[in-house]
Homo-oligomer: A and B are copies of this chain.
Amino acid sequence: MTMKPEWTSAAVSPVNLEMRDQAMAYQDQLTKPQGSLGQLERIAVQFSALQGRLKPELERVSITVFAADHGVADEGVSAFPQAVTAEMVRNFSRGGAAICVLARQIGASFEVVNLGTVAVLEPLPSVLDRRIAPATANLCVTAAMTQDQLTQALAAGFEAAERAQQQGAQLFIGGEMGIANTTSATALAAAILERPVIELSGPGTGVDASGVLHKVEVIERALELHRQALKDPAAVLRCLGGFEIAALVGAFIRCAQRGIPVLVDGFITTAAALIACRINPGVRTWLLFSHNSAEPGHRAMQHALEAETVLDLGMRLGEGSGAAVAVPLLRSACVLQAEMSTFADAAVSDQGLNV
């Protein structure tokens, strides 16, 4: 049996529904045809409700990338060698990865948490060493994590949310890096959604069609192996997850408890969001969704979460990159509601002729 730490079930921060209604009414007073800002209106109203203010602000964004290796990489499910996880942690530290470039563009704080890379890394700027083990166990052979490892990984996410809170973050983005983690995330999705693995599986970072079929076979074997154990979301996470995915789950839950909106990235982070919401359903209120990834299982998870996204650019990189790219759109939404004139202020006629 899998135990979830007690803190994961604590109530999430309340949302201001009165402010939501006030913001909806206010949108119709701004100098534009009603509804003409489309989804940006919905987003601004959501930030009003989350922040409890009519004129929402979105300046301070905190990005944490969680990195870890996966035992299931032994099954040959990724297009890249396992060494890439640690190599990319160095690349994050030096600022050369996509997420680093985007973090600079949007002025976000950026850190990496290493939860367990096979290669031992020297101390690196912007990288926190929280190594739990060199990698998870191979989920085809045994549970990916022990109970204690799961607890540690969730706690690493909790701590990242606490740091974001201390930075005064108005938005949290969790990214991930871990060779073979689309296999883990697909297994999580299949277990939670009870959907056939083949419907949820895609090329990840770039395996070909036979590689996808191999991944499906590996995941089906894992689901069969753990069938009896997969009784609740924490058990699913322990048996099939990764350290970085569990840390994302912990971070998302803690952000919701702390009242920090979370912008969910792509396939892997959506799997973490799904688990977080199954562990603590209140978390959903604090989640926003950024983009549709190219990975086919993403849509199914988004549907289960009733997720509305703002971007569909065919991105499939991870690292939190799709979420970072979407931040300026959320800022546009907030700043429009905060700074546009009303019809009354601007002496613009708002009487439709209804012809």
Contacts and interface: CB of A to CB of B under 8 A. Distances in A.
Interface of A: 30-40, 76-81, 83-84, 87-88, 90-91, 94, 96-98, 101-102, 104-105, 205-208, 211, 214, 294, 310-317, 321, 324-325, 328-329, 331-332, 335-336, 339-341, 345-349, 351-355
B105 A335 contact: yes
A183 to B, nearest CB: 11
Count copies of this chain in the complex.
Answer: 2
A41 to B, nearest CB: 9
A352 B38 contact: no
A94 B30 CA distance: 14
A81 B349 contact: yes
A128 to B, nearest CB: 20
Contacts of A105: 328, 331-332, 335
Contact of A34 (B33, B84, B206): B206
Contact of A84 (B87, B321, B348): B348
Contacts of A38: 294, 313-316
14 contacts: A31-B97, A32-B97, A33-B79, A34-B206, A38-B315, A79-B355, A81-B351, A84-B348, A87-B346, A105-B335, A207-B355, A310-B313, A324-B332, A328-B329
A317 B33 contact: yes
B91 A336 contact: no
A325 B314 contact: no
Contact of A91 (B36, B37, B317, B348): B348
A104 B339 CA distance: 10
